[in-house]
Amino acid sequence: MNSEKLLTVSSSPHVKGPTTVRGVMRDVLIAMIPAAIVSVALFGFRSLLLIAVSVLGCELSEFAVRKILKRPMSLGDLSAAVTGVLIAFNVPSGLPVWQLLIADAAAIIVAKQFFGGLGHNFANPAIFGRIVLLVSFPQAMSAYPMPFAWRVPVAVTTATPLGTISSLGVSGNIADAMKASDALPGLWEMFLGARQGSLGEVCAAALIVGGVYLVIRRVISPLIPCVFVGTVFVFMFFAGHFSLYFALYEVLCGGLLLGAIFMATDYVTSPTVKWAKVVFAVGCGAVTSVIRLWGSLPEGVSYSILLMNILAPSLDKLFYPRVFGAVKEKKKKGAAA
């Protein structure tokens, strides 16, 4: 009996690492806590409500669709919760709750579960949910309440700094025009988050803290976020006539840091090979910059990530590493003749 047990060998893998989907997702959730706290401070308890509703909406969608499709339950892996928080981070605090729920359902059901669930989705579900909202309800998605507006009875909604910059329409020295404009907060305010924007994108400091936590916990590698942000910085440095102020401002604007740290680094929808990752991140940065500078939309982070998500498998194939010791097969010339 005992020897029989000894001789029975299960199939590999025999050694398992401690990393689990649940653990990774829990770390991502922890990394998003600073940004969530800042959003509550800036936009009031409505942002807490939106985050909670979004998480619930995602988990419920996941539960319902897996029940109907008779797939094993996957609520415990927390991936739907991460999607929920990210979608809430991507909307303005005044968004009606029912619109948020539509985005949750679209993200989880259409983008994730219809393609086979976690690990099979072609695009980041949160990005997909945001874009569904963006094209469906452009009005609600561009009404950004002022920070701390929840303390005053009449809430004012305005354009984000990015929208203001593109409406300035200055072709010469953009940095001086920006410094002179009353509608634009200063660099320091941009860094701390005292500006209009989506729930989670406003506070660069909180996002960077979360990103550093993820890097220390080795959940993400800093490669994609650094190259993504770096590309936008370089692009804007040249586009703004070598103005450091303008380039820094553009980096802190919009959802760039949120997208670069939390959404472009999604394991499922970003490449796995190193050089493919670099090209992926450069592509994200370039598309973002091009949309911001010449597109009709003020912000392009979500579209750039969606586009590069779709290219990710091809990039992986393009930069497939050579097996150690293997010789590249020579093309047979004239073999057919």
Partner 1 sequence: MAEKLTLKQEFTKGILKENPTLRLVLGTCPTLAVTTSVTNAIGMGLSAAIVLVCSNVVISALRKVISPKVRIPSYIVVIASFVTLVQMLVKAFLPALDDSLGVYLPLIVVNCIILGRAEAFAGKNPVLRSALDGLGMGIGFTLCLCAMGTIREILGNGTFLAGIADLLKVFGDNVFGGFNGFDLASHYPGGVVPMTVFILPAGGFFVFGMLIAAVNGIVERKGGKKAREPDCAACPMAGSCAEAGKSGAPKGEDCAVKNGAKAAAAEQAGTDGAPVPAPGTREGGEVA
| Contact set with partner 1 (CB under 8 A) | 70-72, 96, 98, 102, 110, 132, 135-140
Please say which residue, 126 or 229, places its beta carbon nearer to partner 1.
126
Shortest reach from residue 263's CB to partner 1, in Å: 19
Shortest reach from residue 152's CB to partner 1, in Å: 22
Please say which residue, 27 or 104, places its beta carbon nearer to partner 1.
104
Please say which residue, 123 or 174, places its beta carbon nearer to partner 1.
123
Q: Which residues contact 118 (CB under 8 A, 6 or more apart)?
A: 21, 74, 77, 79, 112, 268
Shortest reach from residue 133's CB to partner 1, in Å: 9
Q: How far apart are the first and last CA of the chain?
A: 65
Nearest-5° Cα angle at 184, 178 to 187: 80
Question: Token pair for residue 50?
Answer: 């939106």
Shortest reach from residue 301's CB to partner 1, in Å: 18
Q: How far is CA 206 from the centre of its chain?
A: 15
Strand 144-145, strand 157-158: pairing = antiparallel
Please say which residue, 71 or 317, places its beta carbon nearer to partner 1.
71
Q: How far apart are CA 263 and CA 20, in angstroms?
A: 19
Shortest reach from residue 93's CB to partner 1, in Å: 16
Please say which residue, 38 or 105, places its beta carbon nearer to partner 1.
105
Angle between helices 223-239 and 274-294 (to 10 degrees): 30
Shortest reach from residue 110's CB to partner 1, in Å: 7
Nearest-5° Cα angle at 98, 94 to 101: 105
Please say which residue, 17 or 72, places its beta carbon nearer to partner 1.
72
Q: What letter represents residue 249's amino acid?
A: Y
Question: Token pair for residue 140?
Answer: 């609600």
